[in-house]
Amino acid sequence: MGRRHGPSLSVGDVVAAAVRVVETEGPDALGISRVAAELKIKPASMYNHVASGEALARLVALEANRQFLTALQARLEGVTAPRDQLIAIAYQVRDWANENDSLYVHMARVEPDHADLDAAEILSGILAALSAPLGALGVAEGDRVHAMRTLRSALHGFVLLETSGQFQLGVNTGDSFEWLVDRLIAGVTGEQSSQNAPA
């Protein structure tokens, strides 16, 4: 055949199709062939847009991170109290992961490329959102990185365990998350938990 009529596909179109595939068929369905089918082109033509299947996976992870950051910033709009900001971040992580569970799982699987400046910029944005309220709450400079890592770890771990069904049934996970957020903020900022102040 040869080149088709009309506007050609851009990398953005390819990534959008790939995101669609992940969302509708799960993270394992992502691949050159499946995305090519989604775009109604032959698999070999995918290489006009991406270097490899791995590169495609990386682009999807990057796009997912971008969407996550945008949603996070929107959610923080107008939230000024630092403690409220931390709570908003926590719930945004969980809500976003639950609404986009295939994308979230995919993000978690892709190892970040530290040479990718776009990826680094997005990660910086996420970390900045976390850093600000911690500073405002008086977490010392030297503890800041530890506190951020602790928060990221707990939130990331929770949503992964939750979305992959690793919490046994019987107790509502929403209640557990509320509990986690409360204790985590208490532990990280050094303040008292609102639910369990010692006598």
Cα atoms in the Cβ-side hemisphere of radius 13 Å centred on 107 = 24
Report what 52 binds from its own copies, DNA, none; CB cut-off 5-8 Å by kind.
Answer: DNA
> What are phi and psi for residue 127, nearest 5 degrees?
-65, -35
Report what 187 binds from its own copies, DNA, none; CB cut-off 5-8 Å by kind.
Answer: its own copies
Report what 47 binds from its own copies, DNA, none; CB cut-off 5-8 Å by kind.
Answer: DNA
Closest approach, Cβ 27 to DNA, in A, equals: 12
Per-residue contact flags (x/-) with its own copies for residues 52 to 91, judged by CB under 8 A: ----------------------------------------
Closest approach, Cβ 14 to DNA, in A, equals: 8
- The owner of tokens 């949603």 is 71
Residue of 103, 112, 45, 128 whose CA lies nearest to 136: 128
Q: Show the tokens assigned to 68.
A: 């996550």
53 versus 125: smaller Cβ distance to DNA = 53
25 versus 84: smaller Cβ distance to DNA = 25
SS3 140: coil
Say if CB 79 and CB 88 are below 8 A apart.
yes
Report what 34 binds from its own copies, DNA, none; CB cut-off 5-8 Å by kind.
Answer: DNA
Closest approach, Cβ 56 to DNA, in A, equals: 7
Enter the DSSP assignment of 41. S
Question: Judged by CB under 8 A, does residue 37 bind its own copies?
Answer: no
Candidate list 83, 108, 121, 135; residue touching its own copies; CB under 8 A: 108
H or E stretch covering 63: helix 53-76
Give me the sign of the Cα torsion angle 120, 124, 126, 131: positive
Question: Judged by CB under 8 A, does residue 155 bind its own copies?
Answer: yes
